Amino acid sequence: MVARRARGRPVRPYPSPTPRCNPEERLHAVSPSSVSLNECPASVAAADWYRGPVGRLVAADLVALLARRAETAFGYHALILGEAGVEFESRFDWHRQLRIGHHVLAGPPGGPPGSRLSVDLDALPIESEAADLVIALHVLEDRRNPHEILREIDRSLRPEGRLLLVGVNPASLLHLSARFWPRGWLRCHAPLALGHHHPAWRVVDWLRVLGYRIEAIEPIGGVAPWCRERSYRRCERMRRISGDWAWFLNGLYVIDATRRVLRPSRPKPAFRLPSLVGQPVRGEVAGFRRQTLGQPSRDAQR
């Protein structure tokens, strides 16, 4: 245990990072960057942030946004990737919010034991084209180059299936405060400093390469990195304005995409022979005389 003194404030202990991914102790870690991604994946750290005072309010807005985007999704099976899905499951009803008959919670190993399925994100144990809806909660932040994760999601999603992808905006004040002030008065956002955060435009480029149609990109979380519930509730009007005019500075983003599969059409021959028409031919062709049906030739008459 390492104690740190502050002027006019009581001593607050800051435990050193432990080998295991402990959500309670990592909120007050000395240096979030010193924690390895293998020990604490970024998707698990994001789930810890949703347990905080402001994270709970953002989680309620996020689930409402996901439910609104998933209203037009049709199907029976939903795949929810990320430790945050377990956190939302304990407070929200996925069946009622998403209107999907069956859903599976899955996440990377390293989180606390629960009802989720511990899987390798680079090789999902899901049949090809089996999911009608995939909700990826901060799973791309576990990799610097998350192309394998995107390919696995693309393989698991059926044609015309929906993908709702949630990530942290690296250009937001929320992420900058977590990166540069992990132990100050903004230490409530320290879990968001873990991982590799990708901007929305880059993720959109990756999805378009895979053939996805981008339906919408919606910001969420607001611009100001508050750590108190009262401050977050008071700035509701500012969050609405920032969602329209300063969307690129909001803390989180949600990408709604549809998987398109282009079926190859049957190739047509470039050259086709003209069809034969049953019409009489006059004259001689290549030295042969025309012979009318039913009439013997002159050679036969001779």
Q: What is the pLDDT of residues 246-301, one digit of tens each?
A: 677 888 999 999 999 877 767 766 666 666 555 555 555 555 555 555 555 555 55
Using DSSP bridges, classify how beta strands 157-168 and 131-137 pair: parallel, antiparallel or unpaired. parallel
Average pLDDT value for residue range 69-76: 85
pLDDT of 87: 80
161 domain-assigned: yes
pLDDT over 90, % of the chain: 25
285 domain-assigned: no
Residue type at 250 in one-letter notation: N
198 domain-assigned: yes
294 domain-assigned: no
293 domain-assigned: no
166 domain-assigned: yes
130 domain-assigned: yes
101 domain-assigned: yes
Q: 34 is in which domain, residue-wise?
A: 27-220+247-259
- Which pTM was predicted? 0.72
Domain count, the chain: 1
Mean pLDDT across the chain: 75
266 Cβ contact list (under 8 Å, min separation 6): none
Residue 164: which CATH number?
3.40.50.150
